[in-house]
Structure 1
Amino acid sequence: MWAGAAALLTVPAIAMRFTAEVQWTASDFVVMGVMLAAACGAFEGLLRAGNGAAYRIAAALTVFGVFFLIWVNLAVGIIGSEDNDANMMFAAVIATVIGGACIAHFQPRGMARTLLAAAVLQVLIAAVAVIGRFGSVESVNWPKDIIGCTGILTAFWLISAALFARASRS
């Protein structure tokens, strides 16, 4: 897993040699390296906290969901562009997942509740953003980008919650 993360970090470096469309700075590599290290560490920790296929798949989806939420917000933003301060509302989802996991001591029943709360919060934030017109309303993709990304992340949270619930019964 760690070697895969390191290899993934080399992709933009290689791409930069062949195309001008990939423009990463040193800070981009540092941020992505920290994100990949945190994701790998979190996944390893969750694997040690539980056993069984349902728990492991739920853990992988949870870690990927948090990673994806952070990455999308840093790269392009969910609400408008990455410079839109309204994207900071999604930090509440990340805090819910991390805080809830710690409070639940990574036990499957508590993790299921945590991921259900994350799904509800994800939808509420998107609703506030759309109703409040916090995004780029002049954009062709308004509000499809918020709704689509919210749908994907909510699916991650709900599938993870269901798998953690299943793991708690076994």
Structure 2
Amino acid sequence: MPKNKRLIFFLIMAGTLLAIPYIAMQFSSEVAWTRFDFIIAGVFLFVLVFLAELILRNISLKKYRYLLLAALIFIFLLIWLELSVGIFNTPFAGS
């Protein structure tokens, strides 16, 4: 896949992920994201996309590429979980 098409695909997927809670808010009062929540989620998703694209473009050995992508996703999920439910009880916790 050409580099630009892959980046566009990743950005579309990030936008689609952001649309899920927005659509859910239209049908349920249990999903209550604020504008700030969407901004933070958008920033995190787009940073994840650009870092993943940077890794995919610059790391040629597949073993290191997959290891770095797995580490990136793991760190992203830990931060996301902390902001949403506070698994580490930091001042940034969402609960």
Q: Is residue 68 of structure 1 aligned with residue 60 of structure 2?
A: no
Query: C-alpha distance in 2, partners of 1:46/1:86?
Result: 28
Out of 11, 14, 19, the residue aligned to residue 5 of structure 1 is 14
Query: C-alpha distance in 2, partners of 1:11/1:69?
Result: 20
Query: C-alpha distance in 1, partners of 2:68/2:27?
Result: 36
Instruction: Give the superposed CA RMSD.
Output: 1.8
1:52-79 Cα offsets, whole Å, 9 max, x none, are 3322321221121121111111111113
Name stretches of at least 5 consecutive residues in structure 2 with no aligned partner: 1-9
Name stretches of at least 5 consecutive residues in structure 1 with no aligned partner: 88-170
Provide the residue aligned with 2:4 in structure 1: none
The structural deviation recorded for 1:42 is 0.7
**Number of aligned pairs?**
84
On the 8 A contact 2:86/2:92 being kept in 1, the answer is: no
Provide the residue aligned with 2:6 in structure 1: none
The structural deviation recorded for 1:36 is 0.4
Query: C-alpha distance in 1, partners of 2:27/2:33?
Result: 13
Identical-residue share of aligned pairs (%): 36
Provide the residue aligned with 2:48 in structure 1: 39
4+ runs deviating over 6 angstroms: none
Q: TM-score, normalised by structure 2?
A: 0.78
- Tell me the secondary structure at the aligned position of residue 85 of structure 1: coil
Q: RCO greater where, 1 or 2, for CA within 8 Å and sep 6 or more?
A: 1
On the 8 A contact 1:16/1:22 being kept in 2, the answer is: yes
- Change in Cα spacing, 1:86 to 1:4, as seen in structure 2 (3 Å) is closer
